[in-house]
Amino acid sequence: MDVPFNVSLDLKTGEMKPEGIMVVRRLSQMRGAFQDHDAAERMVAESDPVIYRVYNVVVPEESGQLQFCTSIIYPGRVGDEYFMTKGHFHQKIETAEVYLTLQGQGLLLMQSDDGRVATLDMFPGSTSYIPPRWAHRSINVGSVPLVLYAVYPGDAGHNYGIIEEKGFSKIVVAGPCGPVVMNNPRYSG
């Protein structure tokens, strides 16, 4: 991209115009990400809900460029687990990212490639720094859509394979008094 341009971002809904490339992620595309496979299969058969959508502005995937997009993670649960993104490392693992939360309540779950885990609260105005080498997943722990705006290097890319295969070492479930971070019983390290 070598010409300046604007997009119009709705700060409440996260919608961007022009829309660019929209990713719509339904439960059937990430059923293995949730612990309760039976609950996931039931929900897929009933309505296959949209878990989240991402508005991606089209920018070349090149060093020096900046990607920016909004993600909208809907409220809901699969079993005890809140709706969440698939989660990924960046393909170019040395690249960082910034998330600005616009609406809703969330937890940003992160795990470094040497096994450290961190969570950050997401709330309107929270500006979260995801350092290089940390996988990241956004979890909606509230009752309204979680809307976040992200900026990251143009050539960062996405590596979903490690998380699809192993998950994160922690999961976030609904407890009696709100979200609880606990060990992932399926995690093999």
Which residues would be at the binding site for ligand S6P (CB under 6 A)? 54, 69, 71, 85-88, 97, 136, 138, 150, 152, 158
Q: 142 touches which of ligand S6P, Zn ion, none (CB within 5 to 8 A by kind)? A: none
Say which entry of ligand S6P, Zn ion, none residue 103 contacts (CB below 5 to 8 A, set by partner kind): none
Least separation in angstroms between residue 57's CB and Zn ion is: 15
- What string of DSSP letters covers 80-102? TEEPB---BB-SSTT--EEEEEE
Question: Site map for Zn ion, 65-104, x if CB under 5 A?
Answer: --------------------------------x-------
> CB 177 → ligand S6P: shortest distance, Å?
27
Q: Which is nearer to ligand S6P, 123 or 175 (CB)?
A: 123
The phi, psi pair for 166, rounded to 5°, reads -110, -20
Residue closer to ligand S6P, measured from CB, 35 or 160 = 160
Q: Which is nearer to ligand S6P, 81 or 97 (CB)?
A: 97
- The listed partner (Zn ion, ligand S6P, none) that binds 170, CB under 5 to 8 Å by sort, is none
| Nearest distance in Å: CB 71, ligand S6P | 3
Report, in Å, the least distance between residue 88 CB and Zn ion.
Answer: 6
Cβ contacts of residue 168 below 8 Å, gap of 6+? 87, 109, 111, 117, 135, 137, 184, 187
Tokens 């992620």 locate to 25
Whichever of 3 and 184 has its CB closer to ligand S6P, that residue is 184
Q: Do 77 and 83 meet the contact criterion of CB atoms below 8 Å apart?
A: yes
- Is residue 81 packed enough to be buried (19+ CB in 10 Å), middle (13-18) or exposed (0-12)? buried
Q: Give the CA distances from residue 152 to residues 54, 73, 78, 99, 120, in Å, rounded to whole numbers and listed in that order.
A: 14, 19, 29, 9, 18
Q: How far apart are CA 31 and CA 12, in angstroms?
A: 28
Which spans of this chain sit near Zn ion (rule: CB under 5 A)?
Answer: 97
